[in-house]
Chain A
Amino acid sequence: MFEDDIKKLKVCDFDELPGPKSKEELDEMKAPFEDYCRKAFDVGNEFVKPDALKGIRWLSTTMYIFTPHSVANIAELGAECIKIEMPRMGDAMRHTSPFNEAYLYPLHDTRPMSGTGLGFTNANVNKYFVTLDYHVPEAKKLYYNLVRQSDGLTECYRHGTFDRWKQGYRDLMEINPRFIYVWGGGFGYGPKIFGGSYDILGQAHAGLSSVTGAHEDFGGHSTKATNWVIDWYSGTQITVCMLAALHYRRKTGLGTMIEFSQVQAATRCLGYTVPLYGKFGIVRQRWGNWDTQLCVHGIIMTGKTDFPDAENPQDKFETRYVMVSAFQDADFKELCNIIKKPDLFSSYKTHKERVGAPAQMEIYAAIEKWAANKSRAEVVRILKEHGLLAAPVMNDREVYECDHYRQRGTVRWNDDPLFGDVVCQSAYSAGLMSKTPRRHKWQWRPVGADNVKIYHELLGVPMSKINEMYNKGII
């Protein structure tokens, strides 16, 4: 044996050997995977763990959903976010509520106009709420001082408005070169720069709704997503850009300006639609509840609902849809046997054959015919018993009651300091993190609730001055 090899044998350090080093580690390595996950994410104990973005301070001069959400995203991750609203009025979204029915009132205050509409939910989580009227010269100094002490800002005003008010990127980069400035809006520089935009404009204008809904040959129409999906989805992409810019700033100390257009973001998620048009001139159409690229992979209607005696019509009439997926050959064969149509499999043995449009129409019709005398629960049970993939289309009540989300902590009751018990469906659900979990501290606060905390405690404005500015309507 060579001397070198002997030396190697001698320095056999226990710690350097692979494998667990303590009983705890051994247990961790041996635990079933699910238990390991439960322990890693430790639902319910988020607040004993550190914040990922501790020390970041971000200004949110935003309204509606799109840009507020991009900042709420980092507020959930631990950044300190300050939302600036117009004095007395606040974000227009505060006055938005489904069918004008649902408003939350602070526990101590039941005046008729003091409620906030549920439309405001989730887009401004964990923010501090201050007011400021930028039009007044006195307000400018407060604004600039906030900029000096912050890492970035997200705004949603018509392009050029902040620049005209001397509070845009061109001015702010002079007083804080590390500042990251985000403009979020509909269009950005170009011929339609001043065009206003909403979520629904993004859905309509950029092609998303042209491919969503039942095909017109079947009597269907272009369908709007139930939520303000383009607002939310584009807002999250702004957050990606903000965090990437923060990483670059860590290295170089340089801020930047990000111009983000939500109308564009709607086109970004269309997948093959754009290259298909570009290469072959094919204009993609709607295809309802089926899939253009996979079959069977779609939603079918069953003959009976799950809760025929329920009081709520959503339970009584609508609980009859099932997501069925059996596109691989063996799965499809089994499905054909279950619905007693083995000849279907003989006609469509390969996936290429059954994903064609006429084949899809025939196959889904056959499945729905089989399901015509069954309820949703029966269909799901039968398919799952045979080892296939199927799931009910769940409504809000079922999601609320679902044990899965409760165990994972993604639907939970929150004891809000102002509004009492409120169901929380956001923040935790955006993604579980083992070391720096997101957390939901408060849903929102009244207009100007943190004026003293920010203007007095952070910027050192005397209380008498704060009262004076409040009375003048500056804050």
Chain B
Amino acid sequence: MAKEKRDIEIKSRADTLPLMGPDVRPWPVTPPPSPEECMKVYEKRKAGEFGKFLEDNLRLDYRFDKPEALKDFKMLGMGLWRMGHKFCTGLLAEQGMEFINIEPPTGDPARQLTPFGREEYMLKDKAAGTPCGLDFLHELRNAQSITLNIETVEGREIYKKLAMLVDVIVEEYPPGYMDSLGLGYRQLSKLNPGLIYCWIGQRGQWGPMKDEVSKFGQWMLSPFGACADSWVANTGFPPDQCPRGGKGGDPVRSGVWLDDYVAGEQSAVSILAALYYREEFRGGGQFIETTAAEALMDILDFDITWYGFNKSIKARTGAWDPNLNQYEWNPCKDGYMMIGGQTDRLWYRIGMCIERDLPMFGRLIHEDPLLKEMAARNALQSLIKTYTVTTKWLRDINRIEAETKLMEYEIAAGPILYIDEVCEFPHFKYRPWVNTIEDEQYGTVLYAESCGAYQHRTPARVKWLGRPLGHDNGEVYKRYLGYGPMKLRELKAKGVI
């Protein structure tokens, strides 16, 4: 609630900016549910004792009271532009691995990225007032930021020294670039046989379709990966549902750099497995390569296997799932409503709910002999029929009405939420899954909480978000290589850091 009435004149969007932000308009707008209310929910299913056990042992509030899982390991990050190395290192750093992110003295260009080029949506650090893009800030978690110019001879020597002192390197430069500088796995593994070296890219560092760099030096970024593995071709509405040509009926990429995220997390898995092998069996380090295209293909359901099975090329089905009925979202009065439940138990419950408002649903859907068998329900004509009648019900009601009605029947259903609604969703606020951090450099920032943070003994945690360029030069170079301020000034003058 506003504490006092203010007279505000809004002439342009710029005037609205000071009215926003967690210090002016704190998140959450309405308070989250209380633990007492949650206890009542647990009691309803006679799980009060168990619920209390979870609250006492897994709550996010206790994460800093507990140790970190990976604190013995050290990691270097060498990447520009893409999200792959940022997400991979972010996941590991949340689990406690010490992480040094190396950027060239000019900085990662991802620092400059901001939606639609709007500089007013970048955050300025307290020390130098340099603006930084929110993607970079949000993903470089617990990273110590140092600068190093590996194009200088001295910079390469320093990089080699650092490589001898760490357990993991996550690298993302174009194929063969680090190798050509003498800093690839084959050279560094001679200096540090225990080194685990992971390269992340879009399509590969070798092979006929490996990553390319344009004539002018531009890198290949997401979604090139998703385009190369049929994820994009298979996602989106078909021209039968929406017109083609930018009007909704085309294949569509994900709104986020999804293939990069997927490659990043699989890299984290491979790195942890390689570390386990090194520690448990004294097997030494190894070379890992993850690509956005292939990591996304790994989780592309059965699509390529299906082609091998009977030459089926999966078509786009918009917001419907070709494997399950019901399992989709359809338009309703104020947005989209997702309904899911394919087993008989849920299928008839969904129907009973809809039938209350729309009696024809039972006659048309439940009594259709073709729709009685679970697997037969997802033939294409069955999907079309079911969803046509369902949407007849949905189109006259709002999301909240549909959700309330479906929840009475305990169906896994929910509206499509936009980010403001997500951040105010009671469960999100309670956990909390979006959270604020009072950052030393950037003030109060709302961020998506680490998914590994709800753990009994070693919860993952976000200690800080992205840092200004070269923020940790002094500490890291002193601690690892013994370079004091004089030496750093000298290196800076030579353009090495």
Instruction: Verify if A228 is at the interface (C-beta below 8 Å from B).
Output: yes
Instruction: Verify if A460 is at the interface (C-beta below 8 Å from B).
Output: no
Complexed CA–CA distance, A246 and B280 (Å): 11
For chain A, residues 73 to 116, give those with C-beta under 8 angstroms from any C-beta of chain B. Answer: 73-74, 77, 92, 95-102, 104
Instruction: Verify if B246 is at the interface (C-beta below 8 Å from A).
Output: yes
Instruction: Verify if B289 is at the interface (C-beta below 8 Å from A).
Output: yes
As a 0/1 sequence over residues 397 to 418 of chain A, the CB contacts with chain B under 8 angstroms (1 = contact) are 1111011110110110100000
Q: Contacting B445 at CB < 8 Å: which of A195, A228, A279, A289?
A: A279
- For B214, the chain A residues whose CB sits under 8 A away are 325-326, 328, 331, 387-389
Contact A258 B378 (CB under 8 A): no
Contact B436 A278 (CB under 8 A): yes
Contact B307 A97 (CB under 8 A): no
Assuming the contacts A432-B289, A433-B288, asked whether A281 and B25 have C-beta atoms less than 8 A apart, the reply is yes
Which of A74, A207, A250, A323 gathers most chain B CB within 10 Å?
A: A207
Instruction: Verify if A2 is at the interface (C-beta below 8 Å from B).
Output: no
Q: Which of A6-14, A209-217, A465-473 contacts B (4 or more CB under 8 A)?
A: A209-217
Question: In the assembled complex, how far is the CB of residue A148 from the closest CB belonging to chain B, in whole angstroms?
Answer: 20
Instruction: Verify if B108 is at the interface (C-beta below 8 Å from A).
Output: no
Complexed CA–CA distance, A237 and B279 (Å): 22
Contact A323 B224 (CB under 8 A): yes
Complexed CA–CA distance, A321 and B257 (Å): 19
Complexed CA–CA distance, A316 and B376 (Å): 28
- For B228, the chain A residues whose CB sits under 8 A away are 391, 394, 399, 402
Assuming the contacts A204-B414, A396-B313, asked whether A192 and B252 have C-beta atoms less than 8 A apart, the reply is no
Assuming the contacts A102-B306, A271-B256, A430-B295, asked whether A225 and B281 have C-beta atoms less than 8 A apart, the reply is no
Instruction: Verify if B479 is at the interface (C-beta below 8 Å from A).
Output: no
Contact A269 B319 (CB under 8 A): no
Contact B232 A299 (CB under 8 A): yes
Contact B415 A229 (CB under 8 A): no
- For B244, the chain A residues whose CB sits under 8 A away are 301
As a 0/1 sequence over residues 90 to 112 of chain B, the CB contacts with chain A under 8 angstroms (1 = contact) are 01100110000000000000000
- For A413, the chain B residues whose CB sits under 8 A away are 308
Question: In the assembled complex, how far is the CB of residue B82 from the closest CB belonging to chain A, in whole angstroms?
Answer: 12
Instruction: Verify if B400 is at the interface (C-beta below 8 Å from A).
Output: no
Instruction: Verify if A386 is at the interface (C-beta below 8 Å from B).
Output: yes
Contact A232 B250 (CB under 8 A): no
- For A100, the chain B residues whose CB sits under 8 A away are 375-379
- Report the nearest B residue to A404, measured CB to CB: B209
Q: Contacting A267 at CB < 8 Å: which of B115, B117, B323, B422?
A: B422
Which of B185, B279, B324 gathers most chain A CB within 10 Å?
A: B324
Question: In the assembled complex, how far is the CB of residue B476 from the closest CB belonging to chain A, in whole angstroms?
Answer: 23
Instruction: Verify if B220 is at the interface (C-beta below 8 Å from A).
Output: yes
For chain A, residues 417 to 453, give those with C-beta under 8 angstroms from any C-beta of chain B. Answer: 421-427, 429-436, 438
Q: Contacting B269 at CB < 8 Å: which of A236, A276, A352, A405?
A: A236
Contact A191 B426 (CB under 8 A): yes
Contact A240 B22 (CB under 8 A): no
Contact B308 A274 (CB under 8 A): no
Which of B25, B120, B206, B262 gathers most chain A CB within 10 Å?
A: B206
Question: In the assembled complex, how far is the CB of residue A15 from the closest CB belonging to chain B, in whole angstroms?
Answer: 12
The interface on chain B, measured as residues whose beta carbon lies within 8 A of the other chain's beta carbons, has a size of 211
Complexed CA–CA distance, A300 and B268 (Å): 33
Q: Contacting A29 at CB < 8 Å: which of B186, B261, B294, B319?
A: B186
Complexed CA–CA distance, A189 and B294 (Å): 35
Contact B301 A256 (CB under 8 A): no
Assuming the contacts A50-B281, A356-B116, A431-B290, asked whether A219 and B328 have C-beta atoms less than 8 A apart, the reply is no
Contact A396 B321 (CB under 8 A): no
Contact B236 A37 (CB under 8 A): no
Instruction: Verify if B276 is at the interface (C-beta below 8 Å from A).
Output: yes
- For B310, the chain A residues whose CB sits under 8 A away are 101-102
- For B336, the chain A residues whose CB sits under 8 A away are 204, 209, 221-222
Instruction: Verify if A340 is at the interface (C-beta below 8 Å from B).
Output: no
- For A395, the chain B residues whose CB sits under 8 A away are 230, 233-234, 313-314
As a 0/1 sequence over residues 288 to 307 of chain A, the CB contacts with chain B under 8 angstroms (1 = contact) are 11001110011101000000
As a 0/1 sequence over residues 3 to 47 of chain A, the CB contacts with chain B under 8 angstroms (1 = contact) are 000000000000000000000000011000110111011000000
- Report the nearest A residue to B337, measured CB to CB: A204
Complexed CA–CA distance, A265 and B59 (Å): 17
Complexed CA–CA distance, A102 and B451 (Å): 35
- For B57, the chain A residues whose CB sits under 8 A away are 257
Complexed CA–CA distance, A165 and B398 (Å): 39
Complexed CA–CA distance, A164 and B315 (Å): 44
- For B318, the chain A residues whose CB sits under 8 A away are 221, 223-224
Instruction: Verify if B366 is at the interface (C-beta below 8 Å from A).
Output: no
Contact A198 B294 (CB under 8 A): no
Q: Which of B40-48, B388-396, B467-475 contacts A (4 or more CB under 8 A)?
A: B40-48
As a 0/1 sequence over residues 120 to 164 of chain B, the CB contacts with chain A under 8 angstroms (1 = contact) are 110100000000011101110000000000000000000000000
For chain A, residues 165 to 205, give those with C-beta under 8 angstroms from any C-beta of chain B. Answer: 168-170, 186-198, 200-201, 203-205
Instruction: Verify if A334 is at the interface (C-beta below 8 Å from B).
Output: yes
Contact A272 B230 (CB under 8 A): no
Contact A257 B279 (CB under 8 A): no
Instruction: Verify if B487 is at the interface (C-beta below 8 Å from A).
Output: no
- Report the nearest A residue to B376, measured CB to CB: A100
Which of B123, B243, B428 gathers most chain A CB within 10 Å?
A: B428
Question: In the assembled complex, how far is the CB of residue A120 from the closest CB belonging to chain B, in whole angstroms?
Answer: 8
Q: Which of B2-10, B350-358, B455-463, B489-497 contacts A (4 or more CB under 8 A)?
A: B455-463
Contact A192 B427 (CB under 8 A): yes
As a 0/1 sequence over residues 228 to 259 of chain B, the CB contacts with chain A under 8 angstroms (1 = contact) are 11111111110100111111101111111110
Q: Contacting A292 at CB < 8 Å: which of B115, B205, B285?
A: B115
Instruction: Verify if B64 is at the interface (C-beta below 8 Å from A).
Output: no
Q: Contacting B375 at CB < 8 Å: which of A117, A283, A299?
A: A117
Contact B299 A275 (CB under 8 A): no
Question: In the assembled complex, how far is the CB of residue A133 from the closest CB belonging to chain B, in whole angstroms?
Answer: 18
For chain B, residues 366 to 417, give those with C-beta under 8 angstroms from any C-beta of chain A. Answer: 374-380, 410-417
Complexed CA–CA distance, A246 and B275 (Å): 11
Question: In the assembled complex, how far is the CB of residue A376 from the closest CB belonging to chain B, in whole angstroms?
Answer: 11
- For B417, the chain A residues whose CB sits under 8 A away are 204-207, 210
Complexed CA–CA distance, A330 and B444 (Å): 38
- For A378, the chain B residues whose CB sits under 8 A away are none
- For A41, the chain B residues whose CB sits under 8 A away are 287, 289
Instruction: Verify if A134 is at the interface (C-beta below 8 Å from B).
Output: no
Which of B57, B209, B213, B313 gathers most chain A CB within 10 Å?
A: B313
Q: Contacting A191 at CB < 8 Å: which of B17, B41, B328, B454?
A: B41
Contact B247 A430 (CB under 8 A): no
For chain B, residues 286 to 322, give those with C-beta under 8 angstroms from any C-beta of chain A. Answer: 286-290, 294-295, 297-322
- For B59, the chain A residues whose CB sits under 8 A away are 189
Contact B221 A286 (CB under 8 A): no
Which of A92, A104, A243, A312 gathers most chain B CB within 10 Å?
A: A243
Contact B227 A389 (CB under 8 A): no
Q: Contacting B50 at CB < 8 Å: which of A160, A246, A330?
A: A160
Q: Contacting A280 at CB < 8 Å: which of B121, B247, B294, B428?
A: B121
Contact B117 A204 (CB under 8 A): no
Contact B434 A267 (CB under 8 A): yes
Complexed CA–CA distance, A315 and B313 (Å): 8
- For B266, the chain A residues whose CB sits under 8 A away are 236, 430-431
Instruction: Verify if B340 is at the interface (C-beta below 8 Å from A).
Output: yes
- For A163, the chain B residues whose CB sits under 8 A away are 47, 50
Q: List 22 A-B contacts (CB under 8 A).
A: A102-B309, A193-B38, A213-B248, A223-B235, A229-B299, A237-B265, A244-B70, A250-B276, A257-B57, A267-B434, A275-B445, A279-B123, A284-B255, A327-B218, A395-B234, A396-B230, A402-B228, A404-B204, A408-B294, A413-B308, A421-B308, A436-B274
16 further contact pairs, Cβ within 8 A, besides A282-B121, A321-B251: A34-B176, A34-B210, A69-B299, A101-B310, A160-B47, A196-B412, A205-B415, A224-B321, A259-B455, A275-B137, A279-B21, A299-B253, A321-B232, A400-B307, A425-B300, A433-B270
> What 5 A-B pairs come out closest when comparing CB atoms?
A278-B446, A387-B215, A423-B308, A211-B255, A232-B299
